[in-house]
Amino acid sequence: MQQLPSGGPHILGVDVIWVATMLSAVATFAVMLAIYAATTVKDPMARRVKALNERREQLKAGIVASTNKRKKLTNKNQAADRVRSILSQFKMLQDDQVKKTQQRLMQAGIRTKDLAFFIIFARFVLPVVLGAIAVIALYGFGMYPEWSWFRRYATVAGIIGGAYKAPDIWLKNKVTKRSHAIRKGLPDALDLLVICAEAGLTVDAAFGRVSKELGKAYPELGDEFGLTAIELGFLNERRQAFENLAQRVDLEAVRGVVTTMIQTEKYGTPLASALRVLSAEFRHQRMMRAEEKAARLPAIMTVPLILFILPTLFVVILGPASCSINDSFLHGN
């Protein structure tokens, strides 16, 4: 009696049934993840309103609250205090480093300044923890004994270096994504500011109106303009509110807008005409970036064309000819 083969069909030494099972599992997980993401969509407006209200309460506390209440409102988190004390004991805490990290957090849209201490703490803890795990796994338990000494050393060094840079990379990615989102909506926001200025609204009312109108289309830009409108209404110096906007957004275009707003406040120049010129310039820059991406597209598509499209064309075009030539040689022999 002939015994059935235990395994399925193989292609290049790979079990086809096993590969199909893994792909089906990945597809099922992706579908479940998509269903979960679609059914648990949160309204970003609620989080924006909460953040703006917190900033408004902070400004009110700094102006009208008593000293004891102000200390209560500005009380730090206990976990942040413990982390800060640990960093201070090991001489790892510098004022410039903390201020720079807090500014990067603001540029990433994270208003919690206490998180800066956790990021600084993670820079020193993650390399030690992950490096110790890698050393114990590779040298203590002897995992991957076929690896050479150089490969083991390179793996440990790469894990330590990657763990040290991981918090900065995470923060930099968040800042970059937020800056790109703000850059997209800046020309439209300037057009709305021009309309509000020509309609006779004040600067703080114009920023508040633009924040409401662009809140759903560009939530990041609406958030920043909303904070600027609140600070314009509470701070003693309006210049400080504009400078805070330039610090919260890592964009040269926003710094240009802030400079224009400060000059119009100082010299009394027409705001609508200056903003109209800036809006036209930003739209031109956006069109130039789109044209640059379109010009780079043929060079980018060259590698996928060579790797995936041309081999398929060769198989389709030369495959029948190769089969006929092979058949003719077989029949000739």
Count of beta carbons in the 10 Å neighbourhood of residue 228: 24
C-alpha closest to that of 92 among 117, 59, 114, 115: 117
Q: In whole angstroms, what is the distance from residue 86 CA to residue 95 CA? A: 15
Structure-token match 């120049």, residue found: 269
The H-or-E segment that residue 11 falls in is strand 10-11
Per residue in 268-305, pLDDT (tens digit) is 778 788 888 888 888 888 888 888 888 888 888 888 88
End-to-end C-alpha distance for the chain, whole angstroms: 38
Q: Which pLDDT does position 133 carry in this prediction?
A: 92
Q: Which pLDDT does position 13 carry in this prediction?
A: 63
- Apex CA 146: angle with CA 142 and CA 147, to 5°? 85
Per residue in 151-182, pLDDT (tens digit) is 889 999 999 999 999 999 999 999 999 999 99
Q: Which pLDDT does position 110 carry in this prediction?
A: 87
Q: Which pLDDT does position 37 carry in this prediction?
A: 77
What is the gyration radius of the CA atoms in the chain, in angstroms? 30
User: pLDDT means per 10 residues in the chain (333 residues)?
Assistant: 51 72 88 82 62 69 48 57 80 82 89 86 90 90 86 91 92 92 88 88 88 86 89 86 90 88 83 82 84 87 85 83 79 64
Q: In whole angstroms, what is the distance from residue 221 CA to residue 7 CA? A: 58
Contacts 24+ apart (CB under 8 A), 253-256: 253/183, 253/186, 253/282, 253/285, 254/182, 254/186
Q: Which pLDDT does position 8 carry in this prediction?
A: 59
Q: Two tokens at 61?
A: 């506390």
The H-or-E segment that residue 30 falls in is helix 16-39
pTM (global) more than 0.75? no
